[in-house]
Each structure stands twice: as C-alpha cells, then as structure tokens.
Chains A and B, each alone.
Chain A
C-alpha cells in the first residue's frame, strides 16, 4: 500500500431526498470500478424495483450507507463517508462531519435549492466543510442549471460559479462543455464510461466564452497571479485557473458547480475530476483535539505521521468476524502490533488486525497513517472513542455527555421484533452515549432516553429499517427533576419494637441547596453519637431517597445533606435501622425545604427565510420561550431561543406548516430550571390522577 496524502479525499455526499444521491453514488462506484453493473433505483430490471435505497444497497452487497466506502479515481483514493440525513444536533451528526474533509452538494436541476438542501448546507457551514456542487437531473423536463446557481447564491449565500455548461437540456441533453479546458465532453459506451473530448459546438461557443470569463473573474479574487495574467492579458493556463478555484473552494468562499445527469450516465466523471482537483486533501484541513489534562483545552494536531497517534473511532459495524471499528487517524500512524489507549476508558489495547475496505474485499494492511481512514478488528470500544499513543491524553470529542432529557416507552409488536430490538438497542447505546435504555420495573416497559423528540424518532426508525424491529411507541415523557430551595433541619428517630431484636437509630442535621452538584453528603457527627460504622448506612439511606423525590416522584438533584447529631442503641441499632432513620430524616427535612420541580430547558435555534421571521418568533413565544435574539444573514435568519422541552413536542410539524417547510431547527439541552407554579400545579394534578387510576 502506497501512501500519498495529497491524493486522498475524505468526502461526504449531501443531498435533498429526491436529488438523486443514490443514483449518483451508484455511478461513482461503477466508474471507479467498485461495482461492475448498474441497476435502476426505480427498478426497470427488477433488482431495485420495489426497494428503497437502503435495501437496495444491501441487495447489491455493498454498503453505501456504511461508514466509509473506499474507491479510487485517477490515482486518487476517495473515501465516501456516510453523512446522516437528519438535522438533529446529536453527537452522531457531529462525529460524521468531523471525519469529512470536503463534500459534494447534490442539487436537482428542476427542484433547485429546496429546504433540505438548505439543511445540509447549514451543516456544512457549521463545520466549515468546503464543497463543490453537482446539479443533477439535467435530462428532466424543466431543468435549468443556471436558475439553480442563482438560488445557490441567493438562498444559501454561496458564490457559486459554473465549471460547465450543458450541451442541450432535458430530452436532448448530450453532454457538457468544460469551461476550464474549453472542450465539449460527450459520454459514450453502454453506461457512459467513455469520455470523448471534442471541440465546442459553434452555436455554444459564445455562451461558453462568456461563462468562462465569469469563472475567471470570480476565481481571480483568490489568486494574484491570475489577476496579473488577466491585467497583462497573458495566457491563463489551466493550472493557474484550477489553483485559484481550489483556493476559493477551500476557504468556502467559492462553490464550483458541476452538472450532468447521473441517471443518463452523463458528466459524473468530470465531477470526480473536480473532487480530485478542488476538494481538500487531509493536509489542507486543520484538526483540533481537546487536551484532557488541560481541562479540555483545544490543541491543534500536527497531522504528521511520525507524531504520537490521535485517532477517532467514528462508526461501528457488525461483520462476519466481529465488530469492525472504522477509524480516522488525525495524527501519527496506527501500526499493527502497536499499543494504543482508549482515552474514554483508559484501557490499553494492542492492535491486532488493520484493514481497509477495498473494491469488494477487505485488504489487510500494516499501518494507517494520519489523514487516512481504515478499520480495526477486535477492539472493544464505543463509537466516538478516541485512541492515542501512550503519553498523551487528547480527545477528538468532548467527554461531557449530557443527561437524557426525554424518554419514550417502546413495545415490540411481535417476538421477532423483541429479539431484534434488543440487538438494535445494544448497538445504538454503544454508538451514541446520549442514547440510553432501561426497563421500567413498575410497568415492565422498555424505555429509551435521549436528547430530543427527533433524536428518539431517528432511533425508532433505524430499529425498523436496519434491524427489522417494529415497535409501538408511547407518549414522550420529559425528564423532570426535583430540588429544594432553602435550608431545613431534621431530627428523626426510627424506633421499632415488634418482637425479637428491635430497630433504633436517630439522625439529626440539615439539608440545603447546592445548585452546581447532584448530591453532597457531609458527616459532621462528633463524639460518636452515631457510631462510625453506621455513617455509610446513613449516606446510603439518603442516596436511596434521591431516586424518587417525595414531592412528585422525580429524581432529586442539587442537594447537600449534613448530619451533625444522632443516637444509637447498643442492641437495637443496625445498618438497616440507620438506613430507615435516614429515609425518615430525609422526608422530614424535605417537607420543610421548599421543594420545587425542575424542567429541562432547551437551546433552540431556528433557521428560517427572513419572510417567516415574525411567524416563527410568534410560535416560539407561545411556547413559554425566551427569544434571545435574531440574526439576519442575507435571505436567511437565525433565531436563538430558550424553551422548555415539554413545550417543544411536535414543533417540527408546526414549523413546517408555518414556513412551507423552508425552516429548520436544532435543539440541544441547555439547563434545568424551575417550573412556573401554574405548570407545577398542573403536573401535580396529572400525577394525582394517574395515581388514583392505578389505585
């Protein structure tokens, strides 16, 4: 295996749902000889007929949706990395985007920039991923690539520039004109695999010249040499023009636009040339890690193969030989036999087998240097774990894992689904630390917990799609908490004489709020009024009370308990007696401590076209939200707000209908805050109703 980092491209393909991502990916894999026949997504040949793209991939024995599909084009190695299509701001999306160096933004020549194109573009923008655009479906009726370029500029705020113009459109699409080389490209052969370069047809020459001028003009902003060549009227070489366009692309200030029809096998290859020529190689991208020894301070990674290893496990896959862990190396070189440390668990592992996913087979390799993507066998880890060489303690992702804020009961529809659901849950909890699951002891239901409604919806959908586990879901439940607002004292005697040895324990002290901590226990007992051996039993007793708060049964948080006095009996005192005394003491103190209910407040960011700004703000305001501000950025506007999670159920539907589907929102946990009195009373009422129903 030869390593030339300049010839590596780690890219994603982002697209609106109907813009032809599957067909385009299929053609890419065909032209790069990754697969050897083309089938139809819509299914004239029966293979793809009634199947959706995911199942089609499975049928074909390739996994487009897998973590990284490797292919090779013109001596460049291209890793196509799966980019999750959903917009929820979860760890999974963040992780996928971290692995990309560049992207192809696929747009439909008829539909143009649609809401989901806006979504995927926002994701790229957020993570500063350079991209090229491919306008697909030029063969469709109503195709107009120049209108799409205008939309790229107006709706997405890009500086998009055509790299090609079409030769014919709709039914008469013949090929494209390459504006850099000023050649007409036609695609011959059964599947368009032969690219023919010819002279530009005379009737298109003027248009091609004008568009080339436009391309040169926009590219000149990124190259003094090109500007000088224009001013001095000297020859503009291909290399000069390409390097200027590349510079603009890498800085995300220029979006080169390719076009064609993947379905009609036209102009996919020039776009692949564009990937090689214009998108960044790993060395063009600066990556940062967090130094765990310096309070997660950001550190810029050198990217040098000789430095200590820093690598990110970004996806796990079940293979025939066990767990396959996809990994991207950011610094250093992973070598067979070397020892690496999982930063999260601190566990040392010796690398047994390193592989690279290679044209229909797995290739065993000796090393994966910085910038490359490969896979490890036999490593027990979770998705998102960072592996490093001994001696450094860097993490590619923050170790902070927020507590879930929403839960949902799921019930499998049949026995088969039950088994598959267990498998799916086992995998998902390994992949995503913010996704958790447990069985409710009272109802015996399986509960899934996560960071938002959409987050859980995605996993329920994945259970169905990937594991064939069909589940019914209950109503989403907000993870409320209880806390106290003032200091209160307790002095409780637990005393029982019911035959045999009795139970005796007295616990005295006080509880007080500590907003920054979950629970603090402080033993200030002096003179042995509570014998030392019973102190842990007291602490245990108090801890047991935290799981279910006396006010409404929600977990108690932010509480400090200090014990400073007590009493014991030489015969009747025991661990059990002091645990029971602690329970009583907790209840006594809690009743006087001004207990309140806390609810999760979400940081909500809505991105909407400016014309819907007022409506969107109104909808947020109705949800007990505080709107922190609005930010206009060209035709788009971003609204920042803080809203209780309980008010956000079903908001995606509301937002869609308010904005004709043109707005999107992300939501992440911000903090726990006190529920207003009126809402607290409502919650109490509901809880009482539920209780009386059970009774």
Chain B
C-alpha cells in the first residue's frame, strides 16, 4: 500500500528537528505538560508517523485500558487521513496496525524487570519487535532516577523511548527553564518538548534537542482535531 507523502510529513521538523524519527537509537525523549493538554494524543501522532514508515511502536500505558488507547489511535488516524485526503483510510489502517502493540500495566505494577520480562515474551516468540517505546503515565517522582537508569541499557541497542511527564500548574519551572520533574534526570533526555496552553490553543515548544538551523516555526496543536500543525 502506497503511503501518502503528505501523511508522512512530520510537522515537528519545522520546530528544529532534523529527522522524522526525532530520537536517535538508545535515546530518551519527554513530552511535558499539565494534565489534559494532550500529551497522549501528541505521542500517538509521533507513533502513527513512525507506523506509517513501517516502524514498530510499543505503547505502554499506565493510565488507560487498551480499548481507550486504541480509540485514540483510530481518531487521530482518521483526522490525519482526512487532512491528507486519503481515499481508502481503512486499508491503510489495516496495513499499519501490525506495527503497533499496546500494553497496559498498573502504575503499582510497573518495574523495569517486569517490562523486560514482557519484552522478552514479545521478541523471543517473534510476536513483536519494537523500535520505539512509548511509556505514558509513569509518575516522575522520587523513584524515577532509578527507573530511568535501569531502562537506559534496555533501550541502548535498538530502541528509543518517549515518556510523558505531567507537570503542575502551581509549580514554577526550575532555573534552567525545565519542569522540576526533570531536575536531576534531564541529561538522560535527548529531546524535551513542552505543551504549553496559550489561550484556546496549545503551543508546542522544544525545550531541549532542537537545532535552530533546521527551522524555528511556531507549532501548535489544533484544539478540535488535536493534530500538530505549523501555525500560519
């Protein structure tokens, strides 16, 4: 199935990222923002962009059931297909579906050894071999440095991992401009992107990892479709 060029185009490139993949192998990326700004749907778009390029995405959710995550993917995909004028979106959806695996774990039940066990189940039996991992809903609290340190070697070889980081309205950013949740672990992240509400829209800001020479456009999230768009 031929994938439409327009559908493949990643608007984040205009924010200063050189490649569609954004993250290099072994790297971590973070999407920060307050509750409800659209961190999950943002990551779903990154995942769909990868799936459309036949890259396998393992989406681990600690907040929502499989059904809900699946619905998110479907909706965002439909908006993307509509925006790109795809004639037969169902066929395309069926083509990319095998490139996604959703795993939901309870927050209490999340641990790196457990994740490794699940990954082993998937890869050893050739069920699914992820290239990108999304970890959505992991609390960035006192335990996070340990978890990230344990995760680094897991992704080191052939993977990269995206995290959502929930920030709070009442908390001011740290001196370096980054959310306090990332204090002490920021060096582990290659890219940090913030979703910042601005009036009725959500502004997408690259806090770390963007190269100004690759572009500095204003990127927003369309509140009605939740799609990432270049403003203007």
Contact = CB atoms under 8 A, between A and B. Distances in A.
Interface in A608-644: 613-614, 617-618, 621, 626-634, 638, 640
Chain A interface mostly: strand
Nearest to A640: B66
Contact of A618 (B59, B69, B102, B125): B125
A617 B121 contact: yes
A632 B105 contact: yes
B118 A613 contact: yes
B65 A632 contact: no
A299 to B, nearest CB: 23
A629 B102 contact: yes
A628 B121 contact: no
Interface in B40-63: 59
A673 interface: yes
Given A613-B121, A629-B104, A630-B104, A515 B90 contact: yes
A621 B69 CA distance: 21
B67 to A, nearest CB: 8
Contact of B127 (A515, A627, A633, A638): A627
Interface string B82-119: 00000000100010011001111110010000000010
B102 A628 contact: yes
A614 B98 CA distance: 18
B3 interface: no
A629 B102 CA distance: 4
Nearest to B70: A628
A537 B128 CA distance: 53
Contact of A628 (B66, B105, B125): B66
Contacts of B94: 673
A613 B128 CA distance: 14
Interface in B167-204: none
A632 B109 contact: yes
Contacts of B70: 628-629
Nearest to A619: B125
A180 B94 CA distance: 57
Contacts of A673: 94
A515 B121 CA distance: 37
Contacts of B66: 628-631, 638, 640
Contacts of A638: 66
Nearest to B69: A629
B104 A632 contact: yes
Contacts of A613: 118, 121
Interface string A552-570: 0000000000000000000
Given A629-B66, A673-B94, A621 B125 contact: yes
A632 B106 contact: yes
A626 B98 contact: yes
Interface in A539-593: none
A659 B109 CA distance: 22
A630 B58 CA distance: 11
A618 B98 CA distance: 15
Contacts of A633: 106
B104 A627 contact: no
A617 B98 CA distance: 14
Contact of A621 (B67, B103, B118, B126): B126
Contacts of B121: 613-614, 617-618
Contacts of B103: 629-631
B127 A617 contact: yes
A634 B94 CA distance: 31
B35 interface: no
B122 interface: yes
A392 B118 CA distance: 51
Nearest to B124: A614
Central interface residue in A613, A617, A621, A629, by most chain B CB within 10 Å: A629
A613 B125 CA distance: 12
Contacts of B59: 629
A673 B97 CA distance: 14
A630 B115 CA distance: 12
Nearest to B122: A617
Given A626-B97, A626-B98, A631 B65 contact: yes
Interface in A383-426: none
A634 B90 contact: no
Contacts of A614: 120-121, 124-125
A572 B103 CA distance: 68
Contacts of A628: 66, 70, 97, 101-102
A629 B90 CA distance: 20
Interface string A590-616: 000000000000000000000001100
Contacts of B67: 640
Nearest to A625: B127
Contacts of B127: 617-618, 621, 627
A628 B67 CA distance: 9
Contacts of A627: 101, 127-128
Interface of B: 59, 65-67, 69-70, 90, 94, 97-98, 101-106, 109, 118, 120-122, 124-128
The 4 closest A-B pairs by CB, nearest first: A629-B102, A614-B121, A629-B66, A618-B125
18 contacts: A515-B90, A614-B125, A617-B122, A617-B125, A618-B125, A621-B127, A627-B101, A627-B127, A627-B128, A628-B70, A628-B97, A628-B101, A628-B102, A629-B66, A629-B70, A629-B103, A630-B103, A632-B105
Given A631-B65, A632-B106, 6 more contacts: A614-B120, A614-B124, A617-B127, A618-B127, A626-B98, A629-B69
